[in-house]
Amino acid sequence: MKYILFCCCVALCAFNHNLELLPVPKGWDTPTYNFNNNPLSYQAIQLGRALFYDPILSRNNTISCASCHSQFNAFAHADHALSHGIDDSIGTRNAPALMNLAWQPVFMWDGAIHHLDVQPLAPIHNPIEMDENIQHVVVKLRQSAVYPPLFAKAFGYIQQTDLANAADGKSDIAEGLKAIISKAPGKTKETSLEKFECHNKNIDIQLCISGTETIGWKPREKCVTPNGGYNEEKDVQLYHDAPDTFFQLTDGQFAIFFPEDVHAPMIGEGTIKKLVIKVKA
């Protein structure tokens, strides 16, 4: 259980698989968190990031950490005076921004939590946030057909493949995993939004190998204007809605898009080389 909690906590530590795991800027103090008791690893960071965006941590699988700690808002909540939880419950506070957590001695607005390892227990158990319990979360994760085998194989492929020199094309990594490498000119925002898409059956791991890629994003629950019906053969649903935000990926950075994430990729100038891994949900 401690490993699961630690994975949630380190989700924000690193996004680029080529970066040092936790570089301490010159002149900064030593982190408050004692990593000797729970050492960082690349695998723990990637798993933690996936858990951060996964609603499986909530009672009815609808609320994730990212539901209130939005990446495009400095991991805070900017579109409501008070954060919304499970069943659209209204909380008593707005979610604070998440940054440099390894240096913080206390957590929550009132400092009620004194250790990073146990901080995720508060929102998971809170009846108006995630309304779940950690014992059941562990059961759900162990029963998941996705996490144990597929993510291990997906990130193993990323680590072991010379992506910079890999040829364009599609390949099956394993059952339920497909890798797509492409190299193409970036699109205008308008062109990309013609295919503002999400998927019902697949989770997308989209990694920028080279170039700078801008991606538009909006939660599916806020999209109200479908662009045609669901294409079951291609596993694509398009929308006419506009993204809530745009963010950039560059060399080695990646984003994970779950079925509830509507996205418009490949916006940018110049050539963009990228890897998309389709993980069967």
- Domains of the chain: residue spans and CATH: 2-143 (1.10.760.10), 165-280 (2.60.120.370)
* pLDDT for position 41: 67
* pLDDT for position 236: 97
Question: Is the Cβ–Cβ distance between 203 and 228 less than 8 Å?
Answer: no
* pLDDT for position 3: 37
* pLDDT for position 22: 78
Q: Using the 8-state DSSP alphabet, how is residue 124 labeled? A: H
Q: Given CA atoms 221, 224, 227, 233 in this order, what sign does their dihedral have?
A: positive
Q: Which two tokens stand for residue 224?
A: 């109200």
Q: Which two tokens stand for residue 188?
A: 């205008």
> In tens digits, what is the pLDDT along the chain, a chain of 281 residues?
333 443 444 444 333 333 357 788 899 998 999 887 777 766 677 778 888 988 999 999 999 999 999 888 888 888 788 998 999 999 888 999 998 999 999 999 988 888 988 899 999 999 999 999 988 988 888 787 666 776 778 888 888 899 999 999 999 988 888 999 999 999 999 999 999 999 999 999 999 999 999 999 998 989 999 999 999 999 999 999 999 999 899 988 888 888 889 999 999 999 999 999 998 87
* pLDDT for position 105: 92
How many Å apart are CA 203 and CA 274, to the nearest integer? 16
Parallel, antiparallel, or unpaired: how do β-strands 271-280 and 202-210 relate? Answer: antiparallel
* pLDDT for position 209: 95
Strands (E), the chain: 169-174, 177-185, 196-198, 202-210, 213-219, 237-239, 245-249, 254-257, 261-267, 271-280
* pLDDT for position 15: 36
Q: Checking phi first, is residue 237 left (phi over 0); if not, alpha (psi -120 to 50) or beta?
A: beta
* pLDDT for position 34: 86
Q: Which two tokens stand for residue 126?
A: 């809170």
* pLDDT for position 10: 41
Distances (CA, A) of 148 to 60, 137, 151, 176, 186: 21, 14, 7, 13, 34
* pLDDT for position 147: 65
How many Å apart are CA 40 and CA 21, to the nearest integer? 7
